[in-house]
């Protein structure tokens, strides 16, 4: 009995160890987004709450919590409350298989990539349920767009990840990272550069980020699937969106940027100089770089039109991956990896 209790306590602790840092990161990611947006537009950004605005995310969260939770009269109440919960759960569940340093992973399962895929696809249910349950035309349109977009881009993204799986011969994140050991030129970024670009673009589309945020398109459908949500519901959607973006960045850094591997390994001088840096730091830096890239892209490009979006997904990204995968195969064959 005590054993079981202990085990459960351990599991809960593990979950908290993932949950708390992820939530804090998400909170500060929202601030980072505002700051980067401001900087790109020549502004200063949030700087009133706390030192240089560092407490702003908490002020925002408090504000959301204080607001009244309004449910439209015609909405389907059960599903309406369920949707944000599904969104945020799936967004955070993905973090279970992300290794941040050798051995620092909650669930070191063999098919980590498959798991991530399954979980992030489940997240789409949150969106479509929200769109359906709100009983509003804008929400419905937003959900439909989001679904179409996620389905089309998941294919290209899957292909992009297939390249990584081919090169490393494994679906386990730790194995994939270990296969990239030995400095910056061993990262899969180089042999798989086109796939990396495809991955980043698909990541933007999967998380409904600009330039692919048709699901939210403020100008046409107000806020898309979350138009009827306020207060905590909105906050949860917001949170899941940012958690998903961070997840995409983390996966990108694991699969293409060598995860926790130092970029300076085996470089005579720099490698020696940077030996003391804990491995987690590299992972965090790479993830943050990817996350920054996502923000950067958002504040640079205007939104795609819907047909352009579909055309890009089906006629550019998927063919690119389809061409590059045989090349990768050839490369593996020739290089005898």
Partner 1 sequence: MKFFQQKPMLTQLLTIAVFVGSSVLFLLLTLTAWYTIDLPTQPLYPDTIRYHALISGLTWGLSISFILKHLLLNEPPHLYSKYYFALLMIVGLYFMTQICLLCLIFSTDLRAYLQPIGHILSDFNLYFSILTLVTASVIILGQRYWPAKKTKQNTAKRQSKHKDHMIRLIKRFLIWDFLTGLGQTAKTMFQKKKTIQFPEEKIPVSPRFRGLLALRRYPNGEERCIACKLCEAVCPALAITIEAKVRSDGSRRTTRFDIDMFKCINCGFCEESCPVDSIVVTSEHHYVVRERGENILTKDKLLAIGDMCEPKLAQDRANDQPYR
What is the DSSP secondary-structure string of 140-203? HHHHHHHHHHHHHHHHHHHHHHHHHHHHHT-S-HHHHHHHT-SSGGGSTTTTTHHHHHHHHHHH
What 3-state DSSP class applies to 216? coil
**Measured from the CB of residue 8, what is the shortest distance to partner 1 in angstroms?**
48
Check binding of 137 to partner 1 (CB under 8 A). Answer: no
Check binding of 275 to partner 1 (CB under 8 A). Answer: no
What is the DSSP secondary-structure string of 249-286? HHHHHHHTS-TT--TTTT-HHHHHHTTTS-HHHHHHHH
Q: What is the dihedral of CA 265, 267, 270, 276, to 10 degrees?
A: 30
* Residue closer to partner 1, measured from CB, 4 or 268: 268
Burial degree of 195 (CB within 10 A; 0-12, 13-18, 19+):
buried
**Measured from the CB of residue 185, what is the shortest distance to partner 1 in angstroms?**
5
Q: Of the ranges 137-145, 183-191, 215-223, 226-234, which one interacts with partner 1 (CB under 8 A)?
A: 183-191
Distance CA 169, CA 333 (A): 13
Check binding of 315 to partner 1 (CB under 8 A). Answer: no
Check binding of 36 to partner 1 (CB under 8 A). Answer: yes
* Residue closer to partner 1, measured from CB, 10 or 190: 190
* Residue closer to partner 1, measured from CB, 47 or 76: 47
Structure tokens at 88: 């945020």
> Using CB under 8 A, which of 6, 10, 289, 296 touches partner 1?
296
> Using CB under 8 A, which of 185, 277, 289, 305 touches partner 1?
185
Residues 143-182 that bind partner 1 (CB under 8 A): none
Q: Name the maximum alpha-carbon separation found in the chain.
A: 68
Residues 242-271 that bind partner 1 (CB under 8 A): 266-268, 271
Check binding of 289 to partner 1 (CB under 8 A). Answer: no
Check binding of 197 to partner 1 (CB under 8 A). Answer: yes
Check binding of 272 to partner 1 (CB under 8 A). Answer: no
What is the DSSP secondary-structure string of 300-320? TSPPPPHHHHHHIIIIIIHHH
Q: Is the separation of the CB atoms in 108 and 99 below 8 Å? A: yes
Q: Is the separation of the CB atoms in 227 and 142 below 8 Å? A: yes
> Using CB under 8 A, which of 190, 272, 275, 280 touches partner 1?
190
**Measured from the CB of residue 85, what is the shortest distance to partner 1 in angstroms?**
36
* Residue closer to partner 1, measured from CB, 71 or 186: 186
**Measured from the CB of residue 105, what is the shortest distance to partner 1 in angstroms?**
29
List residues near partner 1 by CB under 8 A: 36, 38-44, 183-185, 190, 193, 197, 266-268, 271, 296-297, 299-301, 316, 331, 334-336
């Amino acid at each position: 009995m005590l054993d079981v209790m202990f085990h459960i306590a351990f599991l809960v602790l593990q979950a908290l160890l993932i949950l708390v840092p992820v939530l804090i990161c998400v909170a500060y990611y929202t601030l980072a987004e505002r700051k980067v947006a401001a900087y790109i537009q020549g502004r200063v950004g949030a700087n009133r709450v706390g030192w240089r605005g560092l407490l702003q995310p908490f002020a925002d969260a408090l504000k959301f919590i204080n607001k009244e939770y309004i449910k439209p009269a015609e909405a389907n109440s059960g599903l309406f409350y369920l949707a944000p919960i599904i969104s945020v759960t799936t967004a955070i569940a993905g973090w279970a298989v992300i290794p941040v340093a050798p051995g620092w992973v909650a669930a070191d399962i063999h098919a980590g990539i498959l798991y991530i895929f399954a979980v992030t696809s489940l997240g789409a249910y949150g969106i479509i349920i929200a769109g359906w349950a709100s009983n509003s035309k804008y929400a419905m349109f937003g959900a439909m767009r989001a679904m179409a977009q996620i389905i089309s881009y998941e294919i290209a993204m899957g292909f992009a990840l297939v390249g990584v799986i081919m090169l490393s011969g494994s679906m386990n994140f730790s194995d994939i990272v270990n296969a990239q050991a030995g400095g910056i030129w061993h990262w899969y970024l180089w042999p798989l550069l086109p796939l990396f670009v495809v991955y980043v673009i698909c990541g933007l589309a999967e998380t409904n980020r600009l330039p692919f945020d048709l699901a939210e398109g403020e100008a046409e459908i107000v806020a898309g699937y979350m138009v009827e949500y306020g207060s905590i519901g909105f906050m949860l959607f917001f949170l899941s969106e940012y958690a998903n973006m961070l997840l995409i960045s983390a996966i990108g850094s694991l699969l293409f940027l060598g995860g926790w591997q130092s970029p300076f390994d085996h470089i005579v001088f720099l490698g020696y100089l940077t030996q003391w840096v804990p491995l987690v730091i590299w992972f965090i830096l790479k993830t943050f770089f990817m996350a920054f890239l996502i923000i950067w892209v958002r504040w640079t490009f205007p939104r795609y039109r819907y047909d352009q979006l579909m055309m890009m997904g089906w006629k550019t990204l998927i063919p690119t991956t389809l061409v590059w995968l045989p090349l990768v195969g050839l490369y593996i064959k020739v290089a005898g990896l």
